[in-house]
Chain A
Amino acid sequence: MAHKVLAIYASRCTGCRICEQWCAYQHHGAVSPAHARITVQQLHLRSAPIACNQCRRAPCIAACPSGAISRDPMSGGLQLDAEACVGCRLCLEACPRACIKMDAEVGVPLLCDLCGGEPQCARHCPEGAILCLELDLVDRAYRDDLVAGKEVL
């Protein structure tokens, strides 16, 4: 099983939010930051994409009292059984990255499904701040940034 994961290199983010745009377009059919599974968090002149880490033993899955969250064996992304979801938000609290937000209209969490295997955020990030990589390659860009003298968040 060699699922890819999203690797976030926050020091490269310039805050353009193109990742949010395409994520929302992919999942919601329209650009809408409130519907994006990825969020560019900004503080003054700093910004960082906050996205699902594809945890191996995912706390969101473990926290779900109704078993509504599972992993797609093909892509490794999360999937939600919206019928089973009770809308308790325990998955939000459990996420170590605080990346999950709620769909306010439906009352269910917005979970990253890795776009079925080709994440649009990684595909369109102009800065290389979001990469979709095999697990044994995610470390390399962090070292690149360290060598280049950049701060790694």
Chain B
Amino acid sequence: MSELQGGLAGSLLRVDLTYGTIRREPTPEALYVRRLGGRGVGASLLFDELAPSTDPLGPANKLIFLTGALTGTLAPGANKMCVTFRSPLSETYSFSLCGGHLAPELKFAGYDGIVIEGRAEQPVYLWVDRGHAELRAAGHLWGKFTHETEDAIRAELRDRAVRVAVIGPAGEKGVRFACIQADAHREFGRGGPGAVMGVKNLKAIAVRGTGEVPVADGATLARLVEQAYALLAQHPKARLRRACGTPEMVEATNRLGYWATRNFSGGWFEEAERLSGPRLRETLYVGDRSCYGCPVACGKLSPVTLGRLVGSTIEGPEFETLGLLGANCGVGEPAAIVAATALCDAYGMDTMSAGATVSMAMEAYERGLLAPGDLGGVELRFGSDEALLAAIEAIGERRGLGDLLAEGARRAAEQLGAPDLAMHVKGMELATYEPRGVVGMGLTYAISPKGAHHMIAPTMAAETAGEPSRRLRADGKAALVAETQSIMALVDSLGLCASMRFVLDPHTMLEMHAAVTGRLLTEADALRIGENILQLERLFNVRDGFRRSADTLPRRLLAEPMPSGPSAGNTVPLETMLGEYYALMGWDSDGVPGLDRMRALGLEAEWAAAIRGQTG
């Protein structure tokens, strides 16, 4: 008898673009038992199937799309699909999560995931129609914006309800932070999965499903979900998200002085009031959107009133987007940020890396490393709406300076001869939390397996609660990061939206997982699975040569005290935190996991492969 009595659709699709073959294979249930789904199972498959140091932009890289066991059931907010791949931006292991409606649709179509391999000779798209899957010519779609592509595919397939994940021109042109867009405004955003899809000549994946996911104990799940709805309706954080979306965080982040401003030259933005959640609610938003099965509706609709896409509507801008296209570029005009977001969405690129890269270029311009002629006569100054929009469009087209910036902040800054201007870790640009004002986030950025990404261990809420100076000090941060990242690995692998964790504790998530799969995990079991996933991710990077020297932060954050604002004078005490963190994780002083700990987690084979530099 199988170990899981529900939660799986039962099959994976394996698509080899080089040979144009599509195979259906049984979902590896043992991996779902071991690492739950989504991110965890993706890490397993990528570790096992990718040769060490695989070229991220070569045909051997893979895109492994996976769902979680809760997806396609009543469980709230269980709509995340994970794509796992080696990143062309950071050259590390990477994954990215996307909400919307794509993940449940894939399960209703009868699949838990899709593995994309190889490279097609001509542009194609994958059409998954329940029991039937085929590659279709996409030459006529090449060059189209993301939304145009979605519309064209739905028209071609004569079904509005088809769910489509697409790349835009940025992915086609290999912009290293190109995203994959699904449901118009939901993204697999970070790390450049769109560029991987682009070199594979895969323009889109379209899915239609009419089936269902088996559930072990539907009545218990229904009862748990009704309780979860009641909690979600009352919880202050969920209510804030419902009213203002993720920009509800702007006010506190800025007030406490950890909102990255002008390429991380400070942590307090003088125009933040214009971008606060309540202000946007009053002056910008025209509607609310939900992902599948989520009662929070944190998605906010904003009209585009400036630039090339004027007259359209976006879902967003999200908090990180406001930070990196806004404060970090010195731009406080909401209409400009919305217009820049619309361009990023249309070209199909990550708003975070795009904003961080443009802000690097703005600083380079102000230091005389770039001239107006580099951007068609536009002065690339901090705070210039015009410069922001011109730079984003140039990146999407890979035109002029945009061709350089499309390589990401690290590579572009190196080319400009000023590597210290790039605010990145392992090539991925930092999120909008200025770590000099919330130092645990500095540790998160440094140890994140995919480069500087905040959601690996978002510790800011815990760091800023209680005693005010705590956020500026190292003590307790290593343990906080270690614990938070295990919870995130759990949430991501279950296929739940990260917002659910504010309201649903791990115990509740595991009760739902038990109702769906018939397998009851204790919290300790689950956190151990979380750690197992983290360690495997680390081993992937160790196998590819990453060591302690890569677990660092930009010089500015380590050596230059925060110049002003509520966190003035602080730097990130990274070495102290890193040493403690390595000890907690059982890693040696060079950041390599130790055999004893790996053996205890059942990872000795992967450890040996990593040390020898071989596939698992």
Contact = CB atoms under 8 A, between A and B. Distances in A.
B210 A44 contact: no
Given A45-B287, A45-B289, A29 B297 contact: no
A94 B260 CA distance: 59
Interface in B283-317: 287-295, 297, 299, 301, 313, 315
Contacts of B212: 24, 28, 30-32, 35
A111 to B, nearest CB: 18
A109 to B, nearest CB: 16
A30 B184 contact: no
Contact of A126 (B108, B291, B297): B297
Nearest to B295: A126
Contacts of B290: 14-16
Contacts of B400: none
A124 interface: yes
B108 A32 contact: yes
A93 B287 CA distance: 32
Contacts of A24: 212
Interface string A85-115: 0000000000000000000100000000000
Interface in B203-240: 210-215, 218, 222, 229, 233
Contacts of A141: none
B293 A17 contact: yes
A31 B105 CA distance: 11
A33 B73 contact: no
Interface string A1-39: 000000000000011111001101100111111110000
A66 interface: no
A35 B209 CA distance: 12
Interface of B: 72-74, 76, 101, 108, 147, 160-161, 184-185, 210-215, 218, 222, 229, 233, 287-295, 297, 299, 301, 313, 315
Nearest first, the 4 closest Cβ-Cβ pairs linking A and B are A16-B290, A126-B295, A34-B210, A32-B212
Given A16-B297, A17-B292, A126-B229, 13 more contacts: A14-B289, A16-B290, A21-B74, A22-B74, A25-B222, A31-B213, A32-B211, A34-B108, A42-B161, A43-B160, A45-B184, A104-B210, A127-B288
23 contacts: A14-B289, A14-B290, A14-B297, A15-B289, A16-B292, A16-B294, A16-B297, A22-B74, A25-B74, A30-B213, A31-B72, A31-B213, A32-B210, A34-B108, A34-B210, A44-B147, A44-B313, A45-B184, A45-B301, A45-B315, A124-B229, A126-B233, A127-B288
